[in-house]
Structure 1
């Protein structure tokens, strides 16, 4: 008979909540910037298509914000119920960034309400545009503050440990730990990249369905240009993240790359599978690349898994999460860059079906990369909930009813997810772009080249 394990159920429920919440959190951080870019383009070019773009994206954004509030609240609840020992030890340490995250969200929500209800209320379009800037700041600040909590869990500092309790706490030192710069920048830039691709995938799908309106072509062009910029930023920050892992969490880097022996000139391993004897089979090995990633030199010595205690190693399947994240990131960069190239050179039709399908695939793939990245970040820290300070088992509840909570939240998230999809579909299907454009008297130009 299966033995009930509260730690296992606590991990499953937290994983479920984070996996569901990160979808809406990612959209919540990235979409406001895309709205701001679209509205700015509308003002700069005096182009009503971009203005309508911002308006429609903002409507859909509100729905996702509502769901994100529910799932975000669930995370706060579950921290107290599922991880009471962790919160007892570290709650006062992470209290400041969690409060600031809530404050940033309310700051964003206030201006979002004003922004939505003041369309066409100003003679100057620029005044309305200024209202979206606090929304972008609030959304990004929310990501900043909540990610410092995760950074603290990976690189805890700013306290003295006395009998399992963190004392003499310096909240600012805890927030601005060695993991903070790379963790925050990586989270924020990938939110921007993912949101750009999701919006681009929607535009590409409309064109594939036969809707050749220039509105959708402009939306696709705008999102792909933004995505290309964010993809470059993601690659640069990813390089810095590898160097951070080499210095501060070498066991995580070694597990991600199935690197067992400490050595210089270490290869980067992509794909493959691991035998029971820890032999890597059928993988692509790039010579010297891991050492270069770790320290910008083939001579950099990378510590291997064999030099760490076996009970402090993360599960080695995180290699696949790392590869999935990297491969998708490369795919997104290639698709967005190629779209821009062929549209700029005008040698081929940038809106051809293979290109459009590639963009459509990039939407769900970008979110899959976000999920894989978070799994890699969290599971790669195992067995620690607070790195080198408290294990997951020590931080978890001993309650006998976590399994019931798991089933309840599965049902809740199923209802929330289905409701969100239904509301968004009906919202836009009942009010398509063409109807809004006709009301505004905007011409139906389907042939203009997009620049």
Structure 2
């Protein structure tokens, strides 16, 4: 028997955990690549500032990894406790990438430890830099494997259900489902993009505080270039994601776009307010939804009129789509203007107001990541396993989930405050000016 209260609290706790974890997970995937690029540039240019970028970022990265491990463990625990019926079914099919994700993390953690504790032990800095390759690969592959599980929830395959039992289970086929390519690519690219913009916002903030050190200027320029590259990639992959939805989950696309009637030459709707299936105050881009869905301005786009009301995702996901797209466009424009301005020597990119825009870009990028994940998960409703198991069918019948929610919320508050305080103190007490001075003194003593 379905306990509606348990279903509600289970969804709330899962949403809370995923929303908190995704911040640290995104940074955990993207930062290793930023560290590796910085150290490579420093090695090629023989520039100590880029080497110090890698070294200082690595210190902060350890803190985010620690919190990410705790929240990732909580997710694994909650899947078993809150969604036992789902895990009983899906665990038989998609357990392989869950195991491989753990292996990828161990791979990353081992080489990260070696990298951190051997900074001054390698005479050949190139060999030390190569330790970052398995760290970056391990971090990205962790995201790949866990995203494969999420993709399976949206496009389940690799099994048959006969007389209520799973047969003909093919784990590899389940992993390489139709949702996997676009989901994995989008998660990786947006993690890299977000990490670049978060680090850029820190560099811009230090410049605004009065530090005019070339270290921060080099960091800002490199990160904004990387952010621009990954923002372009995210837009391209987002286009492919729209085409995937049009073919495999058209009701999700229709709900996100408030597309109620099936029609040819469909317009894309931005913003607006919904009043009893009437969209008001929206910006309509003619034919854009047909182009997004089928690369054809005259193509037919399926509307919500083709689906039973109980199978339609919550319509508020349209606002999540708007948030994600608008922030993405803002960051693309900001990074594009900054990079172009550097090449053309535009003075205004050094102004306070423009730097504040870059500072805002860090938190905004995190908000875009949150909106994107909410869109992905809420947009799959009412299914936990698309087409096979509804969300309420996969939930626990326990009546104590609300207590668990309070407990985990307290844990996450402590982790958030603790990690922020540690990171601030770590870098506030050891500014770049002091670190460079100390290193020069050490080098002089060695000479």
Query: Conserved in 2, the CA contact under 8 Å of 1:89 and 1:165?
Result: no
Q: Could you say what secondary structure the match of 2:284 adopts?
A: strand
Aligned partners of 1:352, 1:124: CA distance in 2, in Å? 41
Q: Could you tell me which residue of structure 1 aligns to residue 444 of structure 2?
A: none
Please name the residue that 1:449 is paired with: none
For 1:164 and 1:288, how far apart are their aligned partners in 2?
44
In the alignment, structure 2 segments of 5+ residues that lack a partner are 442-447
CA distance in 1, matches of 2:28, 2:92: 27
Unaligned ranges ≥5, structure 1: 443-451
Residue in structure 2 matched with residue 293 of structure 1 by the alignment: 292
- Structure 2 contact 4–392 (Cα < 8 Å) conserved: no
The Cα offsets for residues 306-333 of structure 1, whole Å up to 9 and x where unpaired, read as 1111110000000000111000100110
Match for residue 435 of structure 2? 436
Query: Is contact 2:348–2:354 with CA below 8 Å preserved after alignment?
Result: no
Alignment of 1:40-51 (within 5 A): 40-51=40-51
- Looking at structure 1, the residues matched to 297 and 123 of structure 2 have their Cα atoms a distance apart, in angstroms, of 60
Measured in 1, the distance between the counterparts of 2:242 and 2:11 equals 26
CA displacement 1:79-110 (0-9 Å, x = unmatched): 00000000111112121000000000000000
Aligned-partner Cα distance in 2 for 1:425–1:321: 31
Determine the C-alpha separation between the residues in 1 that align with 2:4 and 2:314: 22
> 1:7, 1:393 within 8 Å by CA — same for their partners in 2?
yes
**Which residue does 1:445 correspond to in 2?**
none
Task: Tell me if the contact between 1:343 and 1:349 (Cα under 8 Å) persists in the aligned partners.
Answer: no
Distance 1:349 1:42, change over 3 A: farther
Aligned residue for 1:97? 97
What residue number does 2:357 align with?
Answer: 358
What's the TM-score, normalizing by structure 2? 0.97
CA distance in 2, matches of 1:361, 1:428: 20
Task: Name the SS of the counterpart of 1:211 in structure 2.
Answer: coil
The aligned residue for residue 192 of structure 1 is 192
Partner of 1:122: 122
Correspondence 1:303 to 2:302: yes
In structure 2, how many angstroms separate the alpha carbons of the residues matched to 1:65 and 1:167? 39
Retained in 2: the 8 A contact 1:274–1:280?
Answer: yes
Runs of 4+ in structure 1 over 6 Å off: none
1:347 corresponds in structure 2 to: 346
Aligned to 2:9: 9
Q: Could you say which residue in structure 2 is the equivalent of 1:243?
A: 243
Q: What is the rounded CA distance, in whole Å, between the counterparts of 2:157 and 2:51 in structure 1?
A: 46
Partner Cα distance (2:62, 2:161) in 1 = 43
Structure 1 residue 426: Cα displacement: 1.1
Q: Is the 8 A contact 2:198 2:363 kept in 1?
A: yes
Q: Secondary structure at the match of 2:349?
A: coil
SS at match of 2:300: coil
Deviation at 1:187, TM superposition (A): 0.4
Please state how far the C-alpha of 1:384 moved relative to its aligned partner.
0.1
1:105-128 CA distances to partner (integer Å, 9 max, x unpaired)? 000000000000110211111101
Equivalent in the alignment of 1:395: 394
Cα shift at 1:303: 0.2
Deviation at 1:349, TM superposition (A): 4.9
Give the whole-Å Cα distance in 2 for the aligned partners of 1:405 and 1:233. 39
1: CA distance, partners of 2:122 / 2:360: 39
Q: Given that residues 89 and 164 in structure 1 are in contact (C-alpha distance below 8 angstroms), is that contact kept between their aligned partners in structure 2?
A: no
8 Å contact kept, 1:291–1:298: yes
SS at match of 2:350: coil
Distance 2:66 2:439 in 1: 29
Structure 1 residues 310 and 40, CA, compared in 2 at 3 Å: closer, same or farther?
Answer: same
Contact 1:258 1:316 (8 Å CA) reproduced: yes
RMSD: 1.1
How does the TM-score come out when normalised to structure 1?
0.96
How far does residue 4 in structure 1 lie from its aligned partner after superposition?
Answer: 6.9
* Superimposed CA distance per residue, residues 325-345 of structure 1 (whole angstroms, 9 cap, x where no aligned partner): 000100110111100011111
How many angstroms apart in 2 are the aligned matches of 1:59 and 1:391? 43
Distance in 2 (CA, whole Å) between partners of 1:8 and 1:166 is: 28
* Secondary structure in structure 2 of the residue aligned to 1:285: strand
Q: How many residues align?
A: 439
- State the shift of 1:163 in Å: 4.4
1:134 maps to what in 2? 134
